[in-house]
Amino acid sequence: MVGKPEARAREAIDARLIGSGWLVQDRSAASIHAGPGVAIREFPLKGGPVDYMLYVDGAAAGAVEAKKEGWTLSGVEAQSRRYSEGLPDALPAYRRPLPFLYESTGVETQFTNLLDPDPRSRETFTFHRPETHREWLQQAGYEQNRRALPGVAEAPAPYAEGDTLRARLKTLPPLMTDGLWPPQITAIENLEQSLAANKPRALIQMATGSGKTFTAANFTYRLAK
């Protein structure tokens, strides 16, 4: 069994989860309050078992769908979404559907944050830490609703669109143009429009002597703030 691709993938995923601060447990011996982040293997849902259910501070916050190495993860995202919507009625959860979804082979991992205004999957080096999930949930206003009656809060709690990074990119303050040359203004505004359109990659081309360094410092400061 250990030599099968599926088993090797799960061993690698276990190691990545543990390395990211998660306690990995079998369902038969699960204790969701054993630590800030608990990953339970083969967790039963309405649509079938999900490979890992992620608990943060005793409430379900995400799920991981495992596939063998070489599997095309882009085709698994829809399956993860179905799992996120099939929570048992009595399951304590921050929101329904679950906000944080992963697909992983143990070598490649992709992630979708359903708290984003326009959720889309993206590659990530490994799993986020439980503390990171907690911070995102608190920013979105879910921490206070964590212990709501199970099965009641089907609709997510209201949250402002500035709660996640991708949402905040849609609401950047107007650019202060004092001291900027026209090419710098164009570059920064076009970059921020691209990021606001949920395009995480961008290329800025500027002529020599047009102020590339100051442009980079300016938009980096705005993104950091």
Q: Which residues of 81-99 are buried (b: 16+ CB within 10 A; e: fewer)?
A: bebbebbeeebbbbbbbbb
Of residues 149 and 122, more confidently modeled: 122
Over residues 15-28, mean pLDDT: 97
In three-state form (DSSP H/G/I as H, E/B as E, the rest C), the secondary structure along the chain is CCCCHHHHHHHHHHHHHHHCCCEEECHHHCCCCCCCEEEEEEECCCCCCEEEEEEECCEEEEEEEECCCCCCHHHCHHHHHHHHHCCCCCCCECCCCCCEEEEECCCCEEEEECCCCCCCCEEECCCCCHHHHHHHHHHCCCHHHCCCCCCCCCCCCCCCCCCCHHHHHHHCCCCCCCCCCHHHHHHHHHHHHHHHCCCCCCCCCCCCCCCHHHHHHHHHHHHHC
Q: Is the sign of the CA dihedral 154, 158, 164, 166 positive or negative?
A: positive
- Token couple for 167: 């949402």
49-88 pLDDT, tens digit per residue, is 999 999 999 999 999 999 998 888 877 888 888 888 889 9
Q: What pLDDT is attached to residue 1? A: 44
Exposure of 6 by Cβ count < 10 A (0-12 exposed, 13-18 middle, 19+ buried)?
Answer: middle
pTM of this structure: 0.77
Residue percentage of the chain with pLDDT more than 90: 60
Which CATH number among 3.40.640.10, 3.40.50.300, 3.90.1570.30, 2.60.40.1180 corresponds to the domain 5-145?
3.90.1570.30
Which tokens sit at 16? Answer: 């990545």
Q: Is the pLDDT of residue 2 over 60?
A: no
pLDDT of res. 207: 92
User: When comparing pLDDT for 161 and 180, which is higher?
Assistant: 180
Cβ pair 133, 40 in contact under 8 A = no
Q: What is the pLDDT of residue 163?
A: 67
Which among 128, 126, 12 has a CA at the least distance from the CA of 69?
A: 12
The structural domains of the chain, with segments of one domain joined by +, span 5-145, 172-224
The answer on pLDDT for 121 being more than 80 is yes
pLDDT recorded at residue 148: 45
- Confidence band, pLDDT 50/70/90 cuts, at residue 201: confident
Angle CA 149–155–158, to nearest 5: 100
Mean pLDDT of the chain: 87
Task: Report d(CA 207, CA 105) in Å as an integer.
Answer: 43
